[in-house]
Amino acid sequence: MGVKTHTKKDQGPGLKNRTGIFAALIVVTLAAAAGLWQASQNQPDGSESSHLLADFTAFWGWGDREFAEGAQQAGWTFRWDGEAAADTANRLAERLHIVMSPISSPLGEAYQGSIGGGTDNPAVTIWYQEQADRQKNPSEGASIQEDGNAPVQLIILLQPDKGSKLDIIKASAAEIEEMAVEEEVPLKGSFTVRAMPAAGASAKAFARLAAAKQIESYDDGNTRSVTYLSPKLRSEIMSGTQSVNMQIAQVHSMSGDEGELVIGVPLITGDYSAGN
């Protein structure tokens, strides 16, 4: 895909809609299967467990300065996309103490499970579905639970409540990434944050803090979305022939004041329309 975010319904689920998560995940799952979600994520180097967590730490500090209520009261969501065998996906769920259950899906066999909630125990959701090629040629009619080697598209969400502390969120995210490494599941991670800007703050303020170069912008009169490349961020995604690693959307309020900021690294996942 190009860096053209020409729709308010970007990839992925809403931030807190766990019960209806499947329908909103379909688009990004298909994109991942087509190889369009090509984030660059490196494993432990120094004090951070990944490039994603290093970027999260940087954004937390910037958010404390630029969000009206600080970073701790912002709405954060982490997301990891990958591919694995069904048995491996189930082992990840078991290690996180998540019970998987079948869910209705128009695109094939799918399972979902969640655990946690509260400021001391961020909620984790795992979702997986059989890959498109297997839907056309299932192994002798066996389900992906019966055929443990069946390839599945895997999505993991970490959704800390507002008020969660930095160290708790980082520890939970690091645990997921470390388990994935141990299970040999390559994951492509991202995070999204939603918050009202402080007085005088704006999307441009974050771009300045990140020393970011604007790659593309879009404004439909209600929402302005801009993608950037920042040398201060370690995550990166190829979009067409260009690298990007930050997307900022701002919804204009009815009163004309600065609206809510929605920021994604390397891109926003979820719906960034007003009030969602």
pLDDT of res. 15: 35
Cα(148)–Cα(84) distance, integer angstroms: 10
Task: Please state, in angstroms and as integers, the Cα–Cα distance from residue 85 to each residue in 27, 91, 92, 134, 144, following that order.
Answer: 21, 10, 11, 12, 9
Q: Is residue 11 part of a domain?
A: no
pLDDT of res. 162: 97
DSSP 196-220: PBPTT--HHHHHHHTTPEEEEEEE-
Q: Is residue 2 part of a domain?
A: no
Where helices occur in 67-154 by DSSP H, the ranges are 86-95, 132-136
Q: Is residue 244 part of a domain?
A: yes
Where helices occur in 139-186 by DSSP H, the ranges are 166-182
Number of domains in the chain: 1
Q: Show the beta-strand stretches assigned E in 15-166.
A: 39-40, 75-85, 101-103, 110-115, 123-130, 151-159
Tokens 């990840």 map to which residue?
A: 92
Q: Is residue 75 part of a domain?
A: yes
Pairing, β 123-130 against β 151-159: antiparallel
Length of the chain: 276
Domain of 40, in residue numbers: 21-265
Contact criterion met (CB below 8 Å) for 269 and 11: yes
Confidence band for 143, pLDDT divided at 50, 70 and 90: confident
Contact criterion met (CB below 8 Å) for 37 and 188: yes
Instruction: Count the Cβ atoms, other than its own, within 10 Å of residue 16.
Output: 14
Q: Is residue 76 part of a domain?
A: yes
Tokens 């939970």 map to which residue?
A: 172
- Is the pLDDT at 173 greater than 90? The verdict is yes
Q: Is residue 12 part of a domain?
A: no
Q: How far apart are the first and last CA of the chain?
A: 24
**What does DSSP assign to residue 48?**
B
pLDDT of res. 202: 84
Cα(51)–Cα(1) distance, integer angstroms: 23
Token reading at 112: 């979902």
pLDDT > 70: percent of the chain? 74
Identity at 165, one-letter amino acid code:
K
pLDDT of res. 158: 98
- Express each pLDDT in 51-109 by its tens digit: 999 999 999 999 999 999 999 999 999 999 999 999 999 999 999 999 999 999 887 89
pLDDT of res. 272: 60
pLDDT of res. 252: 73
Instruction: Count the Cβ atoms, other than its own, within 10 Å of residue 247.
Output: 27
Token reading at 251: 């919804």
From the centroid of its chain, how far is CA 85? Answer: 21
pLDDT of res. 20: 42
Contact criterion met (CB below 8 Å) for 240 and 3: yes
Non-local CB neighbours of 189 within 8 Å, separated by 6+ positions: 39, 41, 50, 52, 78, 79, 80, 177, 235
- Is the pLDDT at 37 greater than 50? The verdict is no
Contact criterion met (CB below 8 Å) for 18 and 114: yes
